[in-house]
Structure 1
């Protein structure tokens, strides 16, 4: 009952953050906060340098009300316009730590070469399907999915029917050997809560070539250090590469 009463005290309000700046140095106000006789707010550094030496110099007292506002304040992530719904404490390092790794930050480039589009991870798949006509292949965890990929196709999008998490199957080619390298990354709005492994294998039941790879969140740079390598002579009769892809969640 007590927890419900505490939760009911919280509300959402709009606040212009510039009012939480020192009126003297324009620095960010953090407790202790001071106020002079004319109502101007000052940080503790400015208050120390302006301690009154005469009656003509205004004195400063603690502004406990404003301190309580600052201590209880949570503000939205700066990437809220891109879809992040996180509210973070105004004080401390929570904002910087979150925004450094926020998956909604628009710093991921499109997977397609020569495309300059940038967006958060969660918006890349929408861009791929809308602008590049990439088809989404649906799968269930622990169940192999058979896919055929043209040697010239750079990627396939895989979406888990269980939780809607998006993955990208990369197809890169070694120009010297013409071997194809396949790997999987997670391209969803947030990191999966559990460790996920991808298992890649040639679809031909008579060939035992497979690779189990930890799936990492796409960071905009490298997909993985491990690849399933497929030589050209393993192409199917239709000229495509037939694979079995499965995602496994670590307990």
Structure 2
């Protein structure tokens, strides 16, 4: 059995020198009694054996660095190597359905913030449904009238997006990620604004995604020419794409003159997957 550097247990051939077992325990005993967060090595103790995490040992005000449980006080000056070993060996299963990874307990919150199966919210207003991205894609495509299109990384997808409802879902089968195309128009004289959000844990690491969006206007003069607008953006990730701060997004803006009275935006979109 091999332990990944981030704490996940990868199911491979078991190391014969390791003795593994499943146990039930009150995980709060692995929390710092001062800040109440999971203890992270290095852990220190006072002369009475009471514990404190390294952050509390350093960051607490001077008058709180003395153990409050000991009659004579005393600082947390001795590192407890045995507790460090226990903390590094205790692993719990990620609670996200379908994940199945076992993570070092004090790293669980970090893993959950980037887990590919972290529950995400449906972008349809007042829906309230939450589920991992692949399940969320199925929910949207079967429950809501929102258009759903399949997209391949590195290839151009041409869409006719109605001004009345400039929102749709893009689904990439390669890695089962879903992208939410969000747009809007304030009034007939305002530009149409469109952006792309990847529906996944907001702190997810690689891969990153870059989207290219462009829209063409009607044929102009001289014959064969046309006006166009184009933008390239790094795709923002969010577990709640329907409530994302627009200040975090880059938008393609299509001026009304490019529409020439049409009720549809002729949109081209290409999403590139970056693994480094």
CA distance in 2, matches of 1:174, 1:152: 11
Pair 158,11 (structure 1): closer, same or farther in 2 beyond 3 Å: farther
Matched, 1:17 2:40: no
Pair 71,99 (structure 1): closer, same or farther in 2 beyond 3 Å: same
Matched, 1:72 2:81: no
Could you tell me which residue of structure 1 aligns to residue 102 of structure 2? 87
Could you tell me which residue of structure 2 aligns to residue 119 of structure 1? 130
Could you tell me which residue of structure 1 aligns to residue 234 of structure 2? 214
Could you tell me which residue of structure 2 aligns to residue 54 of structure 1? none
CA distance in 2, matches of 1:29, 1:199: 44
Pair 166,20 (structure 1): closer, same or farther in 2 beyond 3 Å: same
Pair 81,112 (structure 1): closer, same or farther in 2 beyond 3 Å: same
CA distance in 2, matches of 1:146, 1:192: 29
> Which consecutive unaligned segments of at least 5 residues does structure 1 have?
34-41, 51-61
The count of aligned residue pairs is 224
Residues 121 and 189 of structure 1 are in contact (CA less than 8 Å); yes or no, is this contact kept in structure 2? no
Question: Secondary structure of 1:209's match?
Answer: strand
Q: Which has the higher contact order (CA 8 A, sep 6+)?
A: 2
1:137-176 alignment to 2 at 5 Å? 137-175=149-187
**TM superposition shift of 1:84:** 3.8
Matched, 1:230 2:254: yes
> Which consecutive unaligned segments of at least 5 residues does structure 2 have?
4-12, 53-66, 72-79, 220-225
Could you tell me which residue of structure 2 aligns to residue 195 of structure 1? 208
Pair 168,104 (structure 1): closer, same or farther in 2 beyond 3 Å: same
TM-score normalised by length of structure 2: 0.61
CA distance in 2, matches of 1:118, 1:134: 15
CA distance in 2, matches of 1:197, 1:10: 45
Could you tell me which residue of structure 1 aligns to residue 111 of structure 2? 98
Pair 18,237 (structure 1): closer, same or farther in 2 beyond 3 Å: closer
CA distance in 1, matches of 2:16, 2:271: 39
Pair 16,128 (structure 1): closer, same or farther in 2 beyond 3 Å: same
**TM superposition shift of 1:226:** 1.8
Pair 202,71 (structure 1): closer, same or farther in 2 beyond 3 Å: closer
CA distance in 1, matches of 2:267, 2:30: 58
Give the structure with higher Rg (CA): 1
Could you tell me which residue of structure 1 aligns to residue 64 of structure 2? none
CA distance in 2, matches of 1:235, 1:7: 69
**TM superposition shift of 1:183:** 0.5
What RMSD in Å do the two structures reach over aligned CA positions?
Answer: 4.3
